[in-house]
Amino acid sequence: MSEQRPKNERDALTGVETGTLFKKPSPLRMNSWFPTKKFVAWALCLSLILGAAGPAFLTPELEAASQASLTRLVKKLKRQVKKLKRQLAVARRPAPEPEPEPEPEPFIEMVTVGNPGNGNDPEQNFGAVAEAFQIGKYEVTNAQYVAFLNAVAAEDPNGLFDASMESNAWGGIVQVGTSPNFSYATKTAMGDKPVNLVSFWNICRFCNWLHNGRLVGAQDNSTTEDGAYALTAGTIAANTVTRNVGAKFFIPSEDEWYKAAYHQPAAEGGDADDYWFYASGSNDSPTVGTVNAIGEIINDDGNIANYLNGADWDGQDGNVTTVGSGGAGSASFYGAFDMGGNVWEWNETIILTTSRGARGGAFHNNVGSVRSSRRGQAGPGTIFSIQGFRVASP
């Protein structure tokens, strides 16, 4: 029988010679003959059907080609397995712990007044406090009071803002707009100065606002009129308002304020009777503070206070200074700054039925006013440019 020729060169590459399973090489590829994948598959299947021993059934050329293909396939599979292992290891690796959120700065920084159960100052008969408590590290600032005003005084029926805060050279707050859309801001360089020109009743409202979680809203029992102090027209008129049980923030009593300012046990380096004359932790009169152009004390010598009109800045002969700027020399044993000088500070003690207490002296006073022996008082509805406050908590 004569040999059947392929119709063209493509048939030579894909056709099968009659009577055989082998591909007939093309005249153009006589030296580069290679079986197709389809052919290898047919060969393997036929080998299995016939019970042959796998690739041994193939010709040497086909066996070599099949082995090379398998080798390449195995290498490729190994690479894929390694890649999958790496991906699996990454998937199993525990996720990195998220960076902790930084603790927000407290709205009012407090210090602990410890040594509970201490006795009174034997000379002045003040200072005994049964329990440990917290007191503001600094006097309440204009910036903190502005936050209060912007939260509750868009309409201001109780006069939490007084026009003198803006008009007085020592005041630090301005009011913008009209009721019921008032807003408030601090004057230049006055945000970190102690707020002044505040009545006792309005600092009670500030404490109520703190107690109630610094809510935004109208001045009512949920914000300013109840919480630490229950304020009613009758109790205000009679000056009988007292601290509520469970108050979270409050105005310190005279004993609490006195202890925070002057107490230091003799066993912990204090004076023999456990009390100093001055709130800077000394029996020697403090150095008069001097300031830079923005009201920061610059001459801390270890015992210092803002008094005697030493803080001349902003065109004023004597002025309030940045809270805490006197450094360690202006702090009490418990770490409360400026309890001597800067501004007088309200306390909640009722004096002579019609007044509330005040202590510490102010920026224009002489040395006698910043001493522990000086006890001030004022009508609770009055305001002064030399009077501010700090808060306390359990």
**pLDDT tens per residue, the chain (394 residues)?**
444 444 444 444 333 333 444 344 444 444 444 455 555 455 555 454 444 444 444 566 656 666 777 777 777 777 878 887 777 777 777 777 788 777 778 999 999 999 999 999 999 999 999 999 999 999 999 999 999 999 999 999 999 999 999 999 999 999 999 999 999 999 999 999 999 999 999 999 999 999 999 999 999 999 999 999 999 999 999 999 999 999 999 999 999 999 999 999 999 999 999 999 999 999 999 999 999 999 999 998 899 999 999 999 999 999 999 999 999 999 999 999 999 999 999 999 999 999 999 999 999 999 999 999 999 999 999 999 999 999 999 9
Contact between 291 and 312 under an 8 Å Cβ cutoff? The reply is: yes
Strand arrangement, sheet containing 392-393: 110-113, 133-136, 392-393
Q: What does the CA dihedral 257, 339, 374, 129 come to, rounded to 10 degrees?
A: 20
Q: What does the CA dihedral 33, 37, 38, 39 come to, rounded to 10 degrees?
A: 40
Beta bridge partner(s), residue 304: 287
- Which letter, b or e, does each residue of 325-353 get, where b requires 16 or more Cβ atoms within 10 Å of its Cβ? bbbebbbbbbebbbbbbbbbbbbbbbbee
Q: What does the CA dihedral 195, 199, 200, 202 come to, rounded to 10 degrees?
A: -80
Classify 77 as helix, strand or coil. Answer: helix
* Residue 160 CB neighbour total at 10 angstroms: 24
User: Full-prediction pTM beyond 0.85?
Assistant: no
Burial of 100 from C-beta contacts in 10 A (0-12 / 13-18 / 19+): exposed
For residue 270, which of 121, 51, 92 has the smallest C-alpha distance? Answer: 121
Classify 64 as helix, strand or coil. Answer: helix
Helices 142-152 and 200-211: angle between axes, nearest 10 degrees? 70
Please name the helix (run of DSSP H) or strand (run of DSSP E) that holds residue 185, with its range, or none: strand 183-186
Beta bridge partner(s), residue 186: 173
336 vs 329: CA distance, rounded Å: 11
**DSSP class of 184:** E
